């Protein structure tokens, strides 16, 4: 158990050696008792706290904890490790809380940890060296490795923080969030030296972030801090980086541009990282690769050997099609790995494998699969178990016809990670190889343990396999399981409805639709199906509302625009309908042809005959025998008094559809008082 002392008297001046090139204090500088005070702030940290305290057990001399309102076993766990715990009401101010914990400390050096962090074992020796070292006004940088599981096996991103510093009343934290240690509340932070001390942070694991609603909490605090300090570039960096994590890219751009403007050319630890995030916002999120290139180059002005900046520069160049230049930037990012320890914030994986993967992808774009495979293999030498890199290699091997080795990698990813990504990729590979039984074996094994979305995709695939081999009952059972996992999923419901229709089970279809109406629409397919069904049933207000709700998340979805236009047209809202039809641009006959026909019909109602004719001709350019287009062309020609063109269109209709063409042509001839010809057309059709 850590040793604690109660005396706060200053010890006599000491002459011990100073490690890590820390500056020696002035002669006669009073020193607090030697040792380390672990200082922490906590709230509901029972998941991680024991792991944290065990990592420093026997190393720190006292544990000082401020609890801001725990309702779980946090305080119990802390006291089991000998901690002194004081309770404070939370103020939305991390610096204040940390300073409250520091005020409890009695030893010479303060070591600050969060509950979801732990000391790396290889750092123990360096930390013990510091315990007896004399202290003055200089701290120690600690490298923090942030564990992430966005992709399996990808390792850590790291940054450095001053987490070790003298126990001095002049040294305190500053900032409501993303707080930092300062001397006399300086905006520039505490001077510090590098040391071989590192910690691991578990707080960015996906389930932890989601359970804490961490991003939203942080965003509210950083916004308040920026309002309070509108001329502080660090405050705007915090707003921008937090907005980026929340996928609010417009706000991220705005805040990081403020950071740029306020900071000017001042070299600060966070600036190069802020520029790199901004470069990613422009290139990857806002589609402005030229601006992304400019900002990435700006980051390199501050930190010429910064892997993140070279990586974002490469991605911006890829987006511009400048693949040779991009590869040069990625090669620089790999070389930057030699300088990782000089960076305040760096994605360690860029130099290890991410740049290799991007170089490989540039060769894929050029159709040079051999070079792509070589680079994917280079990345895997450095990081053998990185899931996305293994999948990139597997796909490239499959494209080159190396199916046996591709199968090995797809299977290895599946067996190693047994997650959504690996399972779906492996099943899809098996399906492409027509190994249906093997695919069904994997689906049957995995669908119960995967997330709903992935399980639903696999069960739909199993249903298609079964239907293709005349095992309709098996297909039905797979679809029923999929419906239980994703009750409102349109792909599942479409397949189930087709099954019921083939059996004439109208009651089952009715119940299916009633159940569907009771679940919220989530995907584009859901909104598409529901808006279609509403239109078919004559509920045009509902059809329009559903289509527009889907377009809120997918503003370029042409089928949703068509459904919205159809409903608006039926409601007499022609202008709204035409606005939606203007978004149907792709020459996909399934939506383009009905969209142009609807457009022509609306123009006809508005007596815009030339516009209507142009829309009809666009349809006939794709499908010269389209019945509705030929009929509409004839109607428009007749309205304009072009009898020759009207009759020509109707005779083309007759050649395409004898029965419909005869009715329309005979009616036209009667209107023209050409009775004998009308009778002959009708007689020929009947004959």
| Short-list 83, 193, 51, CA closest to 130 | 193
**Average pLDDT of span 251-270:** 94
Report, in this order, helix, strand and coil percent for the chain, each rounded to 5.
Answer: 60, 10, 30
Paired sense of beta strands 36-42 and 109-112, if any: parallel
**SS3 of 37, please?**
strand
Q: Once rounded to an integer, what is the mean pLDDT over residues 56-66? A: 97
Whether residue 54 has pLDDT greater than 60: yes
Could you tell me what percent of the chain has a pLDDT over 90? 83
* Residue 5: band (very low, low, confident or very high) from pLDDT cuts 50, 70, 90: very low
Phi and psi angles of residue 181, each rounded to the nearest 5 degrees, phi first: -80, 140
> What is the predicted pLDDT for the residue at 11?
41
CA distance 391 to 424: 11
Classified as helix, coil or strand, 63 is strand
Q: CA-CA distance, 226 to 243, in Å (whole number)?
A: 13
Three-state DSSP class for residue 199: strand
Q: 307 in helix, strand or coil?
A: helix
Please give the CATH topology (third level) of the domain spanning 19-205. Answer: Spore Coat Polysaccharide Biosynthesis Protein SpsA; Chain A (3.90.550)
The answer to whether 344 and 160 are in contact (CB under 8 A) is yes
Distance CA 673, CA 48 (A): 91
* Residue 327 pLDDT > 90: yes
Compare 147 and 189 and report the one with higher pLDDT. 189
Instruction: Judge whether residue 269 has pLDDT over 90.
Output: no
What string of H, E and C letters represents the secondary structure of 383-406? CCCCHHHHHHHHHHHHHCCCHHHH
Please tell me the pTM assigned to this model.
0.75
Among 89, 138, 85, 144, which residue's Cα sits nearest to residue 110? 138
CB 326 within 8 A of CB 314: yes
Report helix, strand or coil for 346. strand
Indicate the pairing of strand 192-201 with strand 117-119: antiparallel
Strands 84-87 and 62-67: parallel
Q: What is the DSSP string of 133-175?
A: S--SS-EEEEEEEEE--SSTT--EEEEEEEEEEE--TTEEEES
Three-state DSSP state, 180: strand
Express each pLDDT in 528-574 by its tens digit.
999 999 999 999 999 999 999 999 999 999 999 999 999 999 999 99
- Count Cα neighbours of 132 within 13 Å in the Cβ-side half-sphere: 7
Q: How many CA atoms lie within 13 A of 581 on its CB side?
A: 24
Nearest to 548 by CA among 518, 514, 524: 524
Is the pLDDT at 213 greater than 70? The verdict is: no
Token pair in block for residue 95: 């610096």
Stretch (H or E) spanning 600: helix 589-605
* Tokens (6 digits) for 65: 């904890």
Q: What is the reported pLDDT for 219?
A: 85
Rounded to an integer, what distance in angstroms lies between the CA atom of residue 88 and that of residue 65? Answer: 10
Average pLDDT for residues 63-71, to the nearest whole number?
97
Taking the C-alpha atoms of residue 611 and residue 622, their distance in angstroms, rounded to an integer, is 18
Determine phi and psi for 16, rounding to 5 degrees: -65, 160
Looking at the DSSP bridge assignments, the partners of residue 146 are 157, 201
Confidence of residue 506 (pLDDT cuts 50, 70, 90): very high
CA–CA distance from 549 to each of 267, 434, 514, 545, 579 (Å)? Answer: 47, 39, 20, 6, 16
Q: 501 pLDDT band (50/70/90 cuts)?
A: very high
């Amino acid at each position: 158990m850590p040793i604690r002392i109660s005396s706060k008297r200053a010890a006599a001046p000491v002459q011990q050696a100073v490690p890590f090139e820390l500056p020696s204090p002035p002669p006669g500088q009073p020193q607090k008792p030697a040792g380390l005070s672990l200082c922490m702030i906590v709230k509901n940290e029972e998941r991680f706290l024991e792991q944290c305290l065990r990592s420093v057990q026997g190393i720190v001399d006292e544990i000082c904890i401020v609890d801001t309102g725990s309702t779980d076993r946090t305080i119990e766990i802390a006291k089991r490790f000998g901690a002194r715990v004081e309770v404070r009401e939370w103020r939305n101010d991390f610096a204040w809380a940390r300073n409250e914990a520091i005020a409890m400390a009695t030893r010479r050096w303060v070591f600050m940890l969060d509950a979801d962090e732990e000391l790396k074992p290889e750092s123990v020796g360096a930390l013990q060296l510091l315990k007896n070292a004399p202290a003055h006004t200089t701290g120690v940088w600690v490298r923090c490795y942030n564990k992430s599981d966005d992709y399996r096996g990808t390792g850590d991103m790291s940054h450095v923080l001053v987490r070790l510093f003298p126990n001095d009343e002049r040294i305190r934290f500053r900032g409501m969030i993303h707080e930092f240690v300062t001397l006399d509340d300086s905006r520039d932070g505490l001077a510090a030296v590098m040391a071989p001390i590192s910690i691991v942070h578990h707080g960015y694991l996906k389930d932890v972030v989601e359970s804490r609603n961490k991003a939203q909490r942080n965003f509210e605090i950083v916004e308040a801090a920026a309002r309070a300090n509108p001329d502080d570039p660090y405050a705007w960096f915090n707003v921008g980086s937090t907005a980026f994590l929340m996928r609010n890219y417009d706000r991220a751009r705005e805040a990081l541009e403020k950071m740029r403007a306020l900071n000017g050319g001042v070299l600060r630890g966070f600036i190069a990282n802020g520029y790199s995030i901004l470069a990613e916002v422009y290139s990857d999120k806002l589609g402005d690769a030229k601006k992304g290139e400019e900002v990435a180059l700006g980051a390199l002005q501050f930190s010429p050997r910064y892997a993140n900046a070279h990586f974002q520069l490469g991605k911006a160049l890829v987006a511009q099609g400048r693949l040779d230049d991009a590869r040069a930037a990625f090669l620089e990012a790999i070389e930057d790995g030699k300088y990782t320890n000089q960076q305040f914030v760096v994605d360690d994986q860029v130099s290890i494998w991410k740049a290799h993967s991007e170089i490989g992808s540039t060769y894929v774009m050029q159709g040079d699969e051999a070079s792509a495979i070589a680079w994917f293999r280079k990345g895997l030498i450095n990081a053998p178990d990185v899931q996305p890199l293994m999948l990139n290699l597997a796909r490239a091997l499959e494209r080159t016809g190396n199916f046996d080795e591709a199968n090995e990698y797809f299977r290895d990813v599946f067996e190693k990670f047994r997650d959504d990504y690996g399972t779906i990729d492996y099943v899809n590979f098996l399906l492409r190889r027509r190994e249906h039984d093997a695919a069904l074996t994997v689906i049957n094994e995995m669908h119960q343990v995967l997330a709903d979305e992935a399980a639903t995709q696999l069960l739909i695939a199993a249903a298609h396999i079964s239907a293709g081999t005349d095992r309709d009952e098996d297909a039905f059972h797979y679809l029923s399981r999929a419906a239980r996992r994703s009750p409102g999923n349109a792909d599942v419901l479409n397949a189930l409805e087709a099954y019921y229709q083939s059996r004439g089970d109208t009651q089952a279809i009715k119940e299916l639709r009633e159940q569907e109406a009771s679940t919220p629409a989530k995907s584009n397919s859901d909104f598409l199906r529901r808006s279609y069904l509403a239109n078919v049933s004559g509920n045009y207000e509902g059809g329009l509302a559903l289509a527009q709700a889907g377009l809120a998340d997918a503003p370029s979805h042409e089928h949703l625009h068509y459904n919205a236009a159809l409903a608006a047209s039926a409601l007499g809202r022609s202008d709204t309908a035409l606005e939606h039809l203007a978004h149907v641009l792709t020459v996909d006959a399934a939506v383009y042809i009905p969209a142009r026909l609807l457009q022509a019909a609306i123009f006809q109602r508005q007596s815009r005959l030339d516009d209507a004719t142009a829309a009809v001709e666009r349809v006939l350019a794709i499908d010269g025998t389209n019945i509705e287009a030929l009929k509409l062309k004839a109607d428009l020609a007749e309205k304009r008094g072009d009898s020759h063109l009207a009759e020509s269109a109707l005779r083309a209709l007759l050649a395409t559809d004898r029965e419909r063409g005869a009715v329309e042509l005979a009616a036209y001839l009667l209107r023209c008082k050409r009775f004998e010809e009308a009778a002959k057309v009708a007689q020929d059709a009947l004959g």
